[in-house]
Structure 1
Amino acid sequence: MKKTLSSYKLHLQKNNVSFNTIRGYLSDLNKLVEWYQDTKGFAPSVTGINPHDIIGFKRHLKNINQKPATINRVLRALSSYFKFAIGPGHNLMGGVKSLKIAKVTPKVLTLEEQQDLMRAVYDSKNSRDIVIVTLLLRTGLRVEEFSALKVSDVYFRGESGYITVDRRRKVSFDSEVWDVLKNWVAGKNDSEPLFPSQKGGCLTARGIRILVEKYTQEAGLEGVTPHVLQLAFCKSLLDAGVPPDKVAAIVGYKNIDTVEKYINLVQENS
């Protein structure tokens, strides 16, 4: 089975699957290989694995307290791999069901909670972190979009401006963002990452999630993620009477249904 993993990796790359997805799929497949070897004492072959093995592996993941979302991601990786290695006509995963995931309603931050969070960030006196959390709350940038930004993506116009995301979308910002962002980019080269990590290179999405978690804990808040901060921005727009289709365009959502869900949350928390 390990011999086909290299071919599978090339297959994913040729189909323009993202680096993170490829890395995750290969990691999940290697976990299956390790479990199979530990359980049966020999390496698995593509044709030697049967649905009972997959069910046993799934049970193993549940026994070691893997989250349902994680297990379902693993099952998707296995399904993708076996379709490639065996062919779509052999449904090895047919009898393996995904786990049900309880729907969690996103937290809606009050204005007071937003102020508590910003106070914790400013108390750190970390200019980079101040800019990042301000952008999350005031522009609706998605956490995945931060790591690709360069200084040259920021444009200033008077006391406002915009950030170009993926060379396609322009994310406008107001004077509050202008104030912290102008100081942050001063003296930096256009080719530099807008938010470098301590180890060099760009700050990753995971790094930003850890950063947000740190400050929300210091502010005494719970259940706050970068997505919750984006929701707070969407709520502010909807409260100001911005039409849902306009909100969707601002935050880069292709599906207006997502914003409609936010409207329901806004109404429930008003």
Structure 2
Amino acid sequence: MKLLEDFCNYIMNEKNLSMNTVDGYGRDLSQFTSFIEKPVTKVTTEDVSSFLSHRRAEGDGVSTVSRKLSAIKSFYNFLVRRGKLKYNPASSIEGMKKPKRLPRPVDSEDIDSLLNMIDNLRDRTIFEVLYATGIRREELCAINIQTDINFRRGELRVVGKGDSERIIPLFPRTLDYIKSLSAEHGKEWLFPSIKTGGHIGKRQINEIVNKWTSAAGLEWVTPHKFRHSFATHLMDNGVDLGDIQELLGHSSPETTKIYAGVSKGRARSAVMKHPLATEKGQP
């Protein structure tokens, strides 16, 4: 369909959305157009509502249906701007509210057991850094030994979403893992890719984590669960929520309005309440 192709080209080339997002919107809109069985310029608000209700009845979750609605709204906004329609038939439809669920952290005992199972330095360092710092997968992948790790001060520099930077103090044990791994391979990146010469990607992190969590009977544990665990275990030990938000690198307006910033000194004091703070060095 020409209009759908034009829309996908627009959001990719002019809106600079990622290929994954473009592909996702394309699939959602193809599903929608197959359901309505009429020209997209003849669609009514009722047609959109019927499609969303149908997807819920078919078992799609709230977040999935909300994503489909977002794709439909964006598509029709595009058509209105291009003069193909006078109004957006989906504009009055409100997104479904996703029920709030508390993140499920991994128990520190399970993490210790998991680390003891791992038989190679690289994989163990991956788990160690994820849990000890609470960083995201993409942040883990992109750790540059030369520019991001201050061995003298024991700090990790993290470039997060929106190119925002934060400094996370490293525990002695964690720093020793990093030193050992960097000495072992001698590469620029902490986790280098043999295939590309750069650093490993998020998919490989997923595969490594899944391999060991499955072996430990913790199939539900994903890389992001260690981020939840980092935050939850700090909170359990009395760390201020604002400090935790800062350490995690959250940048939403709500977060920055509610919570006070944390200095490097307070960050170090905060993370010293993490379970790993009592561990000594040497992996």
TM superposition score normalised by structure 2: 0.70
Match of 2:174 in 1: 177
Match of 1:101 in 2: 98
Residues 103/97 of structure 1: CA separation in 2 closer, same or farther (3 Å cut): same
Q: 2:10, 2:91 → 1: CA distance?
A: 25
Match of 1:194 in 2: 191
Q: 2:246, 2:108 → 1: CA distance?
A: 24
| Conservation of the 8 A alpha-carbon contact between 2:145 and 2:190 | yes
Q: How many residues align structurally? A: 249
Q: 1:171, 1:112 → 2: CA distance?
A: 23
Structure 2 residue 22 is the aligned partner of structure 1 residue 22: yes
Structure 1 alignment gaps of length 5 or more: 260-270
Q: Which moved more, 1:197-206 or 1:162-171?
A: 197-206
Structure 2 counterparts to residues 1-270 of structure 1, below 5 A: 1-11=1-11, 13-33=13-33, 35-36=34-35, 40=37, 45-87=39-81, 90-94=87-91, 96-120=93-117, 122=118, 125-158=119-152, 160-165=154-159, 166=163, 168-186=165-183, 187-190=185-188, 192=189, 194-196=191-193, 202-221=199-218, 223-254=220-251, 255=255
| Conservation of the 8 A alpha-carbon contact between 1:128 and 1:195 | no
| Conservation of the 8 A alpha-carbon contact between 2:7 and 2:78 | no
Question: SS at the partner of 2:100?
Answer: coil
| Conservation of the 8 A alpha-carbon contact between 2:142 and 2:199 | yes
Residues 59/242 of structure 1: CA separation in 2 closer, same or farther (3 Å cut): closer
Residues 247/96 of structure 1: CA separation in 2 closer, same or farther (3 Å cut): closer
- How far is the alpha carbon of 1:200 from its aligned partner? 7.4
Match of 2:277 in 1: none
Q: 1:10, 1:164 → 2: CA distance?
A: 32
- How far is the alpha carbon of 1:156 from its aligned partner? 3.7
Q: Which amino acid aligns with 1:62?
A: R
Residues 23/4 of structure 1: CA separation in 2 closer, same or farther (3 Å cut): closer
Question: SS at the partner of 1:47?
Answer: helix
Percent identity between matched residues is 26
Residues 112/141 of structure 1: CA separation in 2 closer, same or farther (3 Å cut): same
